[in-house]
Amino acid sequence: MLPEDVQVANYFDDLDSKKWIASAARKLSAETEDQIEGIYTEYSDKELENVSSEEKSDYIEKRLNDVYQEIRFALPTARFAEVKQKQIAWLKERDELASPEEKFTFTVARSKALQDLLW
């Protein structure tokens, strides 16, 4: 059995064959644990009731960044490189949106999509 402070990540070796491998066991630092806390919880609009648009945007932007950092930690390097390229393209598309509400909705959807990579 592994100590509590060691995380073992399981990844698909080959998505089509559905073969699992265990790899990338690494010790989690306290900073990493703090950073990934809450990543695996579902986003809820109730968390943002009665807050300003700016606070909503700040919250979802932080959540997106936290999920992205967890993906960077959890995925193998080659798989993360693919995600990074898609994220760069997504950021360009988001920056072209005009309204803050469109950006917020777009960011919520991206955050959920990134979370799905970990679940």
Q: Supply the pTM of this predicted model.
A: 0.64
pLDDT of residue 4: 46
The residue ranking higher by pLDDT, 26 or 102, is 102
Considering the domain boundaries, does residue 13 fall inside one? Answer: no
- Report how far residue 84's alpha carbon sits from residue 9's, in angstroms, rounded to the nearest whole number: 19
The residue ranking higher by pLDDT, 28 or 101, is 101
pLDDT of residue 37: 60
Work out how many domains the chain is built from and give that number.
1
Domain residues for 53? 29-118
Tokens for 90, please give them.
């997504």
Considering the domain boundaries, does residue 24 fall inside one? Answer: no
pLDDT of residue 118: 76
pLDDT tens, position by position, 85-100: 999 999 999 999 989 8
Considering the domain boundaries, does residue 4 fall inside one? Answer: no
Residues 6+ apart with CB under 8 A from 36: 66, 69, 70, 73
Considering the domain boundaries, does residue 5 fall inside one? Answer: no
Considering the domain boundaries, does residue 21 fall inside one? Answer: no
Considering the domain boundaries, does residue 12 fall inside one? Answer: no
What is the per-residue DSSP string for the chain? ---TTEEEEEEEEETTTTEEEEEEEEEPPHHHHHHHTTTTSPP-GGGGTT--HHHHHHHHHHHHHHHHHHHHHHS-HHHHHHHHHHHHHHHHHHHT--SHHHHHHHHHHHHHHHHHHH-
pLDDT tens, position by position, 49-97: 777 888 888 888 988 998 898 888 888 889 999 999 999 999 999 999 9
Considering the domain boundaries, does residue 36 fall inside one? Answer: yes
pLDDT of residue 96: 95
Considering the domain boundaries, does residue 16 fall inside one? Answer: no
pLDDT of residue 9: 45
